């Protein structure tokens, strides 16, 4: 089959690779109809997440048709499914309390050491996201093997086309969980850093949860425009002093809740960011925490911090003083996708959530390398790229 494979920093290629096969009784094989490139994939593309090996198949946002099932899969051939990016067994302690992205059984034992050293305990398995998270082949391919197919995939009705439901695999639940983690109360002013797909869905979710005001921060005009179209007020960080603007917009006490939908590759020429860009390049201290620092400074005393943006390693000059003295709450994590797919599918079906407004490009799988390059280098206009293995090149 054809698949998008990683070969090094800024080097991804569509290659011919072996077809996936059923390995375990609960597996299913899915023929991919749509698969998206995520901001998280850029961290692999940029080489700032450890553990990728040449030839690894990327991609964790995908859907398609069931073409083969193991004897213990509950799926049936021909069903149309969206697959969560988190691989979860459904039976361990964390899965039982719906913390699916912390599954103890999905990252094979021989792959657990790296994340156990970095995080204290091993990570769960994720599709197409390095050997840190299990080394699973991803879904930017014609076919993919889905382990625990009785737990993760959600069957979607035929009348909803791929564009409407694909994002149940990651960014829609991620935006929703980001807002849920901000514990939004009806009078809250919420600031969201990053108007990429995750930030945009976080804005949409925060407003749906009743936030009085959402302030979106980015520097790309079109992305800021998309945020305004959802009902957010905006700050362009290249034009305004973010902390001063947020103080003014929150009655002088700081915002009630902050959402970091940027993560470890912040843009901008702030001094701390410039230092960390340099450190990231030479591999000392992996994370650029500029946005997280700014968010912690911007939140009011007693406020709430939500971190959907991905960080991978360590960072310097973290504001521990502000963190402690302000009495704030922090919630974070890879999304517990399986917890949210059903309620969010209902919102898509009843028309209360549009998920298509941010799609900018649909490309054949053969064009995936160009998709990565443009999503990275022309972020303003390339807001979300969907790859279609079935589309003629």
Ligand X SMILES: NC(=O)c1ccc[n+]([C@@H]2O[C@H](COP(=O)([O-])OP(=O)(O)OC[C@H]3O[C@@H](n4cnc5c(N)ncnc54)[C@H](O)[C@@H]3O)[C@@H](O)[C@H]2O)c1
Q: Which is nearer to Zn ion, 213 or 384 (CB)?
A: 384
103 counts as binding Zn ion under rule CB under 5 A: yes
- Residue 12 in the binding site for ligand X (CB under 6 A): no
Near ligand X by CB under 6 A: residue from 62, 127, 129, 220:
220
Q: Between residues 89 and 207, which has the closer beta carbon with respect to Zn ion? A: 89
Q: Which of residues 223-282 bind ligand X (CB under 6 A)?
A: 223, 237, 261-263, 266-268
Alpha-carbon torsion, ordered 108, 27, 74, 30, to 10 deg: 130
Structural contact between residues 203 and 227, judged by C-beta atoms closer than 8 angstroms: yes
| Euclidean distance between CA atoms 157 and 146, whole angstroms | 20
Cβ neighbours of residue 157 closer than 8 Å, sequence gap 6 or more: 349
Confirm or reject binding of residue 310 to ligand X (CB under 6 A): yes
Q: How near is the Cβ of 372 to ligand X at its closest, in Å?
A: 12
- CB-hemisphere CA count at 13 Å for 384? 25
196 binds ligand X per the rule CB under 6 A = yes
Q: Indicate which single residue of 195, 206, 214, 386 sits in contact with ligand X (rule: CB under 6 A).
A: 195
- 40 is a site residue for ligand X (CB under 6 A): yes
- In terms of DSSP H, where are the helices of 156-270? 162-165, 171-180, 197-208, 221-230, 242-249
Residue 141 phi/psi, 5-degree rounding, is: -160, 175
- Tell me which of Zn ion, ligand X, none is bound by residue 37, counting a contact when its beta carbon lies within the kind-specific cut-off of 5 to 8 angstroms: none
- The whole-angstrom separation of Cα 331 and Cα 378 is 31
The region, left, alpha or beta by phi > 0 then psi within -120 to 50, assigned to residue 231 is: left
Nearer to ligand X, 66 or 387 (CB): 387
Nearer to Zn ion, 86 or 189 (CB): 86
Exactly one of 40, 204, 315, 341 binds Zn ion (CB under 5 A); which one?
40
Number of residues that bind ligand X (CB under 6 A): 35
Partner that binds at residue 92, options ligand X, Zn ion, none, CB closer than 5 to 8 Å by kind: Zn ion
Residue 303 found at the interface with ligand X (CB under 6 A): no
Q: Is 194 in the site for ligand X (CB under 6 A)?
A: yes
In the β-sheet with 299-307, what is the strand arrangement from edge to edge? 233-236, 213-218, 189-193, 255-260, 299-307, 329-332
Q: Contact with Zn ion (CB under 5 A): which of 30, 95, 177, 215?
A: 95
- What residue ranges bind Zn ion (CB under 5 A)? 38, 40, 61, 88-89, 92, 95, 103, 105, 170
């Amino acid at each position: 089959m054809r698949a998008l494979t990683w070969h090094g920093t800024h080097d991804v290629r569509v290659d011919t690779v072996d077809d996936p096969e059923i390995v375990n009784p609960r597996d299913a094989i899915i023929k991919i109809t749509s698969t998206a490139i995520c901001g998280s994939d850029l961290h692999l593309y940029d080489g700032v997440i450890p553990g990728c090996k040449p030839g690894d198949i990327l991609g964790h946002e995908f859907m398609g048709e069931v073409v083969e099932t193991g004897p213990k899969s509950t799926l049936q051939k021909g069903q149309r499914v969206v697959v969560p990016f988190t691989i979860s067994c459904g039976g361990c302690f964390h899965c039982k309390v719906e913390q699916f992205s912390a599954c103890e059984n999905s990252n094979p034992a021989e792959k657990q050491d790296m994340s156990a050293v970095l995080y204290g305990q091993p990570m769960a398995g994720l599709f197409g996201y390095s050997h840190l998270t299990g080394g699973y082949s991803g879904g930017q391919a014609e076919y993919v093997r889905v382990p625990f197919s009785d737990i993760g995939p959600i069957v979607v009705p035929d009348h909803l086309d791929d564009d409407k439901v694909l994002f149940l695999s990651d960014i829609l639940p991620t935006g929703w969980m980001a807002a849920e983690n901000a514990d939004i109360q009806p009078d809250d002013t919420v600031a969201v850093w990053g108007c990429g797909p995750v930030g945009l869905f976080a804005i949409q979710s925060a407003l749906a949860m009743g936030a009085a005001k959402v302030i979106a921060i980015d520097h790309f005009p079109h992305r800021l425009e998309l945020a305004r179209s959802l009902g957010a007020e905006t700050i362009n960080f290249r034009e305004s002093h973010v902390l001063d603007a947020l103080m003014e917009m929150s009655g002088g006490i700081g915002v009630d809740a902050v959402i970091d939908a940027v993560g470890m590759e912040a843009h901008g020429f702030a001094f701390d960011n410039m230092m960390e860009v340099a450190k990231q390049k030479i591999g000392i201290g992996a994370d650029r925490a500029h946005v997280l620092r700014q968010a912690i400074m911007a939140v009011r005393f007693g406020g709430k911090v939500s971190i959907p943006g991905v960080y991978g390693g360590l960072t310097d000059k973290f504001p521990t003083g502000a963190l402690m003295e302000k009495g704030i709450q922090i919630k974070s994590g890879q999304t517990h996708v399986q917890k949210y797919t059903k309620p969010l599918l209902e919102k898509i079906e009843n028309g209360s959530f549009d998920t298509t407004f941010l799609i900018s490009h649909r490309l054949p799988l053969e064009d995936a390398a160009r998709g990565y390059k443009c999503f990275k280098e022309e972020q303003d206009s390339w807001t979300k790229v969907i790859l279609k293995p079935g589309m003629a090149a």
